[in-house]
Structure 1
């Protein structure tokens, strides 16, 4: 349907009796419900109750319709027109789905409350391939609510933020390494003299000495890997 056709159909619908239309239980009349408290007769099929035809000022037609614009609307909303509109609607919905699918990062879901992220992958052992899973909504394992698909834009922004954080952490680590490498630590180690506790009957006791050296190093903040 062209834009002009749609505008003409809309104009006829706006001039017709508003509300939902129903056929009464006896099939003798079509009625409309403009509101919850109002009922209007659109057309009477019972010839005895129809009454005389009336000339309508807005259309100039002589008819039995209460609102002669209703007849024009019904004629315009014929099966060909309705089917054409449905075809366009289905085509538009299909296109919307295609566009939405291209926007969503497949297989990545996130909870809007706890930020839990679920990544789905399909593993084909026979072919040796891994592909992205579906993006169907499912409950958050933390009970917060549903997991929602993540768009490529959201994924890109998250990766950008993560990269910035990684860069900052790297700079901090580099600065700390440089600081540790540049520092000088003075440690006073125990002296081993022939007349002190590290000698028994003139024999040097290495385990005692190593014990006190280790204590001195630890006290200076130096971690030791003793291989234990």
Structure 2
């Protein structure tokens, strides 16, 4: 009986700790906001934004089309209407939506209407997705400021939010993955394959050419 008397306060303490953890998760979920953008290869956009303080996670996926639960193969063929996109979960107390939009537009080529870098076609086009008038007005402001900074026309559209479908598991966190994959450069770990792809695609060199020191994520791979 003494054992049960000892276990009761322990169990109560464990229960209270679990309740506190759950309340913490609920509070965090309530403060999260989402931003969906399309910026060409979703591996690159995911990699860029997961490095931003205040971003909780970035998820690769597909949106903007009509096909339900599309696969990578279907989207790649260009007949689903979807774009490769990334859903960015962030804490607005740590990073603003406007700042994230500013980072986004300076991490892509918003003057290119036919894809991004080496990835050509509508699937790889840029876009900002909004779900209300306030978000739309904010996106317009950011695009206008970017056009003024570049002195060029911005072709990145602002689109109404649609269902966001998560890409297959093997696409998530590809940029830091350790699985061995077969590439045109030979067998490589995912992280190494990602770096070779990004370099060969010319993403960073074009962004630097366009934005110079204002390019937030460009790296010399």
Q: Tell me the TM-score range normalised by the shorter chain.
A: under 0.3
Give the TM-score taking structure 2 as reference length: 0.23
Higher relative CO (Cα under 8 Å, sequence separation at least 6) belongs to: 2
The answer to which structure has the higher helix fraction is 2
Higher Cα Rg, which structure: 1
